[in-house]
Amino acid sequence: MRKEADVEAQDHIKAYLIDRGFDIHQSTGANRVIIGVIGDTQSLAEAEIEAFPGVLQVVRIAKEG
Amino acid sequence: MRLNLNGYLSEALKGDGKSFEEKRGAYLAAAREFLEHFREELKRGHREGEDGIQVVQSITAMTDALVTRLFSALSDDLQIPKAGELSLVAIGGYGRGELNPYSDLDLMFLYSGKDSKRVEEVANRLLYFLWDLRLDVGYSVRTLSDCVEMAGNDTTVKTALLDARLLTGSETLFRDLKKLMVTQVLAKRSDAFINEKLEENRKRREKYGSSVYILEPNIKEGEGCLRDLHTAMWVAKIKYKVDQPRELVIKGVLSEEELKAYLASLNYLWRIRNELHYLAGRKNDQLTFEAQTSIARFFGYEDRGKTLAVEQFMQDFYLHANRVEHFSSVMIAKCSQREEGARKILGYFTRRPVGEGFYVMKGELVVPDESVIVKDPVRLIRIFECAQKQGVAIAIGTKTLIRDNLELINDKFRRSKEANASFIKILQSEKGVSETLQQMHHLGFLNRFIPEFERIYCKVQHDVYHIYTVDTHTLFAVEEIAKLWRGEHRDTLPLLTQLALEVDKRWLLLLAVLLHDVGKGSGGGHAEVGAELSRTVARRMGLSKEDGERLQFLVRQHLLLAHIAQRRDLHDERMIIQFARQMEKSENLKMLYLLTYADIKAVGPEVWTEWKALLLQELYEKAFQVLERGDFKLEASGDRVRRVKRAVFELLREDYPAQLIKDELQSLTTRHLLSYAPEVIAGHLKVLLSLGDSKLVLKLSHETERGYTNVTVCTFDIPGLFSKITGVMAANGMNILGAQIHTNTNEKVLDILQVNSPQGFVITDENRWARLETDLRQVLSGDVRVSALVAKRHRPSILTEKAKPTVPARVEIDNEVSSDYTVIDIYAHDKVGLLYSITSTLTRLGLYIGVSKISTKVDQVADVFYVKDIFGQKISEPGKLEEIRRALLVAIDQDS
């Protein structure tokens, strides 16, 4: 998430993901919040998520062989 | 360690030339010496502190060396070609390399199918040899296709083969077996296998108790013990096609920490099991009280203040079992989840939001975004509330979430209105209340939320009366109340069921049940300590003054109802009134009655008896009438006596001459007349009137439903009569539950005894009653001495008794509770003729017994006697009281 993204923005994106059946693992650092998405993420479009307010970057974890 | 059997063979036999059978004797001697030597060495290692895994590995290595050496000698002898024909395979626990000192060995002779006669021959000879060494060996002789077929049909075989390990012989054959197991057996129906395992688990729980907190757990089969770890591993082996636990880390199923925890658990449980086997000198997996004490000492525990070493050891053991249970549940949950594909399609549609960031998916409560908990910790308790309300389980991941966040439950949480409101809702709810509380307890939540509860967490009570730890007993008591609400005892316990349903504040009753024993283990009266603790709980939870006081009242008095019902004369109206006064309100009485029921019922399966049920109900009803009547005054007894006499007279006037009835009625004591309904007294009179020259009338009425026989003994009074009756009963192996003694002014005596067999059954065998009558006649006529009869019965038991924790005998004297009698309470260990020893002592002391109540708690007797001196007075002189006390203690101890 972006540094300036507030809790509301976090909740918004999380609600979106949870609605789609994903689990969330949040790491809250001093400066930044990372939201881990757990589930079958192949069905997610990165661009769609990046369009959410407050989202800085979407990083897909490499698929295992 | 040099594991070479050859070293034990004498030189002359090492050469060739003779067959194995010719050398058998020498081999046997060598093998014996070998075993003896290494067993001793391993035991020494264990006692000197070698850990569980080390010892288990050494025992396996020793056994391997012995078995393979013998096998080679035999197969050489019978000229079994080495390659491709036969392999010796260890299966089951031996296959896993997990041998404790006296574990069984499971061997499989795997062969190609050729020459089965010769293979059988090798197998038989090896087995006879091992049996001669007193090893516990199971065996099978199979071909590859036998293995596949049997494993397909039988889960036990399949599981055993899963752990197969080649000891010696053909490697090719063994490799083929492994390959076939993977392709033919495991690949097919792996889900079915996992389900079978889960089903087995469930059955095992049923058999060995579905609680981690059983007082004498089975180290192998008990919950949170070895089998839990095995099951987790089997399921993982099937699911992830691995052989060794370590591979699960590589596959990302387990973390390094989890693997470490798994190995540490194995180590811990094995070390206990090793010691258990060494202690018993045989295979024994039951952690009996006796073994617990020795093992606590072996592990270096020491008594600390009021807490015994053994209690600390067991507390640690239960904590450990709790962790093992969680580990194995997590593992099984991981393995039994559906394939990802099905999940992603269905998941979207079936994940149903239920508020607070909680969702229900596949019948389980999940929390997809774990950060909601930190944001509002009250959600921790809401998880339980929500799962209970929705009637769903808590997903294993959510359980881990709770376990990991317990430190959020601080004093602020405990005082929070929302959290307490949620807890009360949980307690008040119709359904699943005891399951929810058990979950809260199991996950460590309850201890954090009610820190007072932690005092009894995994607390062992070392007696044979209790079979559960205090916390488990408490949770079972909650379940007993819930059963009443569900109407499970509607037919057998209608009154209790009705009362339970009448309770408005169910939560308050359950809170009292939860707290009734929290005072245990700190010395002093636990009810009193518990009441003080309850006050703190009530204040913290923000209960109203009235609720808080009732809670304290219930905890403080939770032993009173049972005490009075079982040990006091319920025909003593003054006493009943005093008791009712203590209850203050009928709502208190109702709740106390329910709490008492739940408390007794949750002690163990056979502690609640029909007899106790009757006594409790009688006391409840009598006290309730007094409370409802409102005035704590006795009904003028003169009027009642006259009324009863008239009624009895009317009932009998057609059968007997009027004067005869009147005289007999006149000789009854007031107490007698006020204790029974007129119909019953009319029955008594019939018996009394039939007493003629025969000197004895014996009347039986079998109360089959209540589980005893009412024995009415009518005779002429002689000194020590009651002691003679109890002696004859003891000599005939009859168990006395209670006795009402009525001595009339015309020298006639009418004693009514409630009698059953020591096993708790109604005695219906007429021969036994006939023998009793003969004995009684002979004793009363002076032809036979009762002491001789009792002595004949007193033979030493052939069964060696299991060591049981014992409490020294106690005698207590109460001069307050009854206005007419001195009341003597005796607590002692039960034995045949105990009652006779006591009553004969009372007779010798010149005491007259008016009422007697006998209650047996498994093996502990609590007898009470209402006595007077020869002048019909209470005994008040301190010197005399002390003499009585001492004489009774001597009588109890004399032949124990």
Q: Measure the CA–CA gap between B348 and B260, rounded to whole angstroms.
A: 36
Res B805 pLDDT > 50: no
Instruction: Give tens-digit pLDDT for B746-778.
Output: 889 999 998 888 777 889 899 999 999 999 999
- pLDDT tens per residue, range B47-68: 998 999 999 999 999 999 999 9
CB count in 10 Å sphere of residue A31:
6
Q: Say if residues B698 and B713 touch (Cβ distance below 8 Å).
A: yes
CB burial string B819-832: b at 16+ within 10 A, e below: eebbbbbbbbebbb
The single-letter code of the amino acid at B693 is D
Mean pLDDT of B527-550: 95
Q: Is the pLDDT of residue B552 over 90?
A: yes
pLDDT computed for residue B342 by the predictor:
46
Is residue B349 pLDDT above 60, yes or no? no
| Largest distance between two CA atoms of chain A | 37
Min Cα distance B319 → chain A (Å) is 29
State whether B370 and A26 contact (CB < 8 Å): yes
| A65 — pLDDT class (breaks 50, 70, 90) | very low
Q: Supply φ then ψ for residue B317, to 5 degrees.
A: -60, -45
Pick from B343, B347, B368: CB nearest A24: B368
Reply yes or no on whether the pLDDT at B490 is more than 50: yes
**Cα–Cα distance for residue pair A28/A9, rounded to 1 Å:** 14
What average pLDDT does this structure show over B248-270? 88
CA distance B255 to chain A (A): 17
Residues 6+ away with beta carbon under 8 Å from B515: B450, B452, B453, B530, B533, B534, B537, B551, B555
Q: Give rounded-to-5 percent helix, strand, coil for chain A.
A: 30, 20, 50
Lowest mean pLDDT among B69-78, B218-227, B439-448, B534-543: B69-78
Contact between B368 and A43 using a beta-carbon 8 Å cutoff: no
Q: How far apart are CA B891 and CA B195, in angstroms?
A: 60
By Cβ distance, the residue of B348, B369, B370 closest to A20 is: B348
pLDDT-derived band of residue B251, with 50, 70 and 90 as boundaries? confident
What band does A27 get if pLDDT is binned at 50, 70 and 90?
Answer: confident
Nearest Cα to B600, choosing from B535, B520, B517, B708?
A: B517
Please report residues of A whose CB lies closer than 8 A to that of B344. 21, 39-40, 43
Q: How far apart, in whole angstroms, are the C-alpha atoms of residue B367 and residue B358? A: 5
* Percentage above 70 pLDDT, chain B: 90
Interchain CB distance below 8 Å, A40 and B344: yes
Chain A's closest residue to B350, CA to CA, is A21
Q: Do B371 and A21 count as a contact with CB atoms less than 8 A apart?
A: no
Give the SS3 label for residue B751: strand
- AA identity, residue B431: K
In this structure, are residues B362 and B392 in contact, taking their beta carbons and an 8 Å threshold? no
A contact test, residue of B344, B349, B398, B401 with most A CBs within 10 A = B344
Q: Nearest 5 degrees, angle CA B500-CA B502-CA B507?
A: 65
- Tracing tokens 């058998």 back to the chain, one arrives at B24
Element spanning B861, H or E: strand B860-868
pLDDT for position B238 = 82
Per mean pLDDT, which range of B4-13, B84-93, B219-228, B561-570 is the poorest? B4-13
**Tokens for B530?**
């518990």
Chain-chain contact of A25 with B370 (C-beta, under 8 angstroms): yes
Distances (CA, A) of B631 to B81, B350, B580, B591: 99, 63, 10, 21
* Model pLDDT, residue B28: 87
Kindly report, residue by residue over B464-486, the tens digit of the pLDDT: 566 788 888 999 999 999 999 99
Cα(B664)–Cα(B667) distance, integer angstroms: 5
For residue range B719-737, list pLDDT tens digits in order: 888 889 988 988 888 888 8
Neighbours of B261 (CB within 10 A): 16
Amino acid B555: pLDDT: 97
* Minimum-distance CB partner of A18 among B340, B343, B368: B368
pLDDT at B693 over 50: yes
pLDDT of residue B340: 45
Q: Is the pLDDT of residue B741 over 50?
A: yes
Give the list of residues 6+ apart from residue B488 with CB closer than 8 angstroms, or none.
none
* Closest partner CB to A24 (pick from B347, B351, B369): B369
Cβ contacts from A onto B, under 8 A: 30
Find, among B418, B252, B258, the residue nearest to B329 by Cα.
B258
> What pLDDT does residue B797 have?
43
| Range from B188-202, B347-361, B451-465, B639-653 that averages highest in pLDDT | B639-653
Q: Select, from the ranges B332-346, B476-490, B870-884, the one with the highest average predicted confidence (pLDDT).
A: B476-490
Average pLDDT of B299-314?
A: 85
Distance CA B669, CA B640 (A): 13
Residue of B nearest to A39 (CA): B344
Q: Which of residues 5-64 of A touch B (CB under 8 A)?
A: 14, 18, 20-26, 28, 39-40, 43
Looking at B396-400, B420-424, B458-462, which range is the least confident one? B458-462
CA separation (Å) from B162 to B115, B174, B603? 27, 13, 41
Residues of B in contact with A25 (CB under 8 A): 370
B344:A39 CB<8 A? yes
CA distance B503 to B236: 49
Residue B803 has pLDDT above 50, yes or no: no
Q: CA neighbours within 13 Å on the CB side: how many for B46?
A: 29
Contacts of B364 in chain A (CB under 8 A): none
Q: Give the whole-angstrom CA distance, residue B792 versus residue B386.
A: 66
pLDDT at position B17 is 59
Q: Which residues of B touch A (CB under 8 A)?
A: 340, 343-344, 347-348, 351, 359, 366, 368-371, 397
Whether the Cβ atoms of residue B805 and residue B465 lie closer than 8 Å to each other: no
List beta partners, residue B750: B714, B742
Q: What share of chain B is helix, strand, coil (3-state, %, to 5)?
A: 60, 10, 30
A65 vs chain B: nearest CA distance in angstroms? 13
- Tell me, what's the pLDDT at B836? 84
Residue B864: is its pLDDT beyond 80?
Answer: yes
List of chain A residues whose C-beta atoms are within 8 Å of the C-beta of residue B348: 20-21
Q: What region, left, alpha or beta, does residue B280 occupy, with left being phi > 0 and alpha being psi -120 to 50 degrees?
A: alpha
Evaluate whether B728 touches B784 at the Cβ level (below 8 Å): no
Q: Return the minimum-mean-pLDDT range out of B78-92, B299-313, B513-527, B640-654.
A: B78-92
* Average confidence score pLDDT of chain B: 85
Which tops the pLDDT comparison, B635 or B83?
B635
Cβ distance B344 to A21 less than 8 Å, yes or no, reads yes
Write down the pLDDT at residue B896.
47
Q: B436 or B631: which carries more pLDDT confidence?
A: B436
Question: What is the C-alpha separation between B224 and B231, in angstroms, rounded?
Answer: 11
- A21 to B351: CB separation less than 8 angstroms, yes or no: yes
End-to-end C-alpha distance for chain B, whole angstroms = 50
Under the banding of pLDDT at 50, 70 and 90, the label for residue B18 is low
Q: Do B366 and A28 touch (CB under 8 A)?
A: no
Q: What is the DSSP letter of B609?
A: -
Short-list B513, B506, B508, CA closest to B530:
B513
Residues 6+ apart with CB under 8 A from B564: B570, B575, B579, B619
Q: Say if the Cβ atoms of B371 and A39 lie within 8 Å.
A: no
Label the pairing between strands B810-814 and B696-703: unpaired
Residue type, B695: K
Are B478 and B433 in contact by the 8 Å Cβ rule? The answer is yes
Neighbours of A18 (CB within 10 A): 22
Interface test with A, best of B344, B369, B374, B400 (most A CBs within 10 A): B369
Compute the distance between CA of residue B826 and CA of residue B812 in angstroms, rounded to an integer.
Answer: 6
Query: What pLDDT digit, counting tens, does each position of B153-197 carry?
Result: 888 888 888 889 999 988 889 999 988 887 877 776 677 777 777
Selecting from A23, A28, A40 the residue whose C-beta is nearest the C-beta of B368 gives A23
- 3-state DSSP call for residue B342? helix
Residue B83 pLDDT: 52
The nearest alpha carbon in chain A to B366 belongs to A23
Residues of A in contact with B351 (CB under 8 A): 18, 21
The strand pairing partners of B736, in sequence order, are: B755
CA nearest to A13 within chain B: B369
Q: Summarize pLDDT for B287-298 with one digit per residue, the tens.
A: 888 899 899 999
**Shortest Cα distance from A25 to chain B (angstroms)?**
6
Q: In this predicted model, which residue has the larger pLDDT, B311 or B797?
A: B311
Instruction: Using alpha carbons, select from B615, B604, B597, B532 the residue that is nearest to residue B558.
Output: B597
pLDDT at residue B536 tops 50: yes
**pLDDT > 80? residue B550:** yes
**Are A22 and B340 inside 8 Å of each other by CB?**
no
Q: What is the pTM of this model?
A: 0.73
Query: Which residues of B are less than 8 Å from A14 in CB distance?
Result: 369
Residues of A in contact with B397 (CB under 8 A): 23
Average pLDDT over residues B243-256: 84
Most A CBs within 10 Å: which of B362, B371, B373, B376, as the mutation test of the A interface?
B371
pLDDT of residue B426 exceeding 90: yes
Question: How close, in Å, is residue B345 to chain A by CA atoms?
Answer: 9
Strands in B364-366's sheet, in edge-to-edge order, are: B352-355, B358-361, B364-366, B393-394
CB < 8 Å to B339, chain A: none
* Cβ-based neighbours of B517, under 8 Å, separated by 6 or more: B456, B470, B473, B474, B526, B530
What was the pLDDT predicted at B11? 53
Nearest by CB: A26 against B366, B369, B397:
B369
The pairs formed by A62-65 with CB atoms below 8 angstroms and a separation of 24 or more are none
Which positions in chain A touch B359 (Cβ < 8 Å)?
A: 18
Decide: B883 and B811 in contact? Cβ < 8 Å: no
Report the pLDDT value the prediction gives residue B9, as an integer from 0 to 100: 65
Contacts of A22 in chain B (CB under 8 A): 368
Mean pLDDT across the stretch B657-661?
A: 91
pLDDT score for B631: 64
Segment (H or E) for B737: strand B735-743
Chain A contacts of B354, Cβ < 8 Å?
none
How far apart are the CA of B251 and the nearest CA of chain A, in angstroms? 12
Q: How far apart are CA B217 and CA B227, in angstroms?
A: 13
Q: Do B344 and A20 touch (CB under 8 A)?
A: no
Q: How many CB atoms lie within 10 A of CB B3?
A: 16
Shortest distance, CA A5 to any CA of chain B (angstroms): 16
Taking phi over 0 as left and psi of -120 to 50 as alpha, with beta for the rest, B719 belongs to: beta
Mean pLDDT for B385-396 is: 92
Q: CB–CB of A20 and B366 under 8 A?
A: no
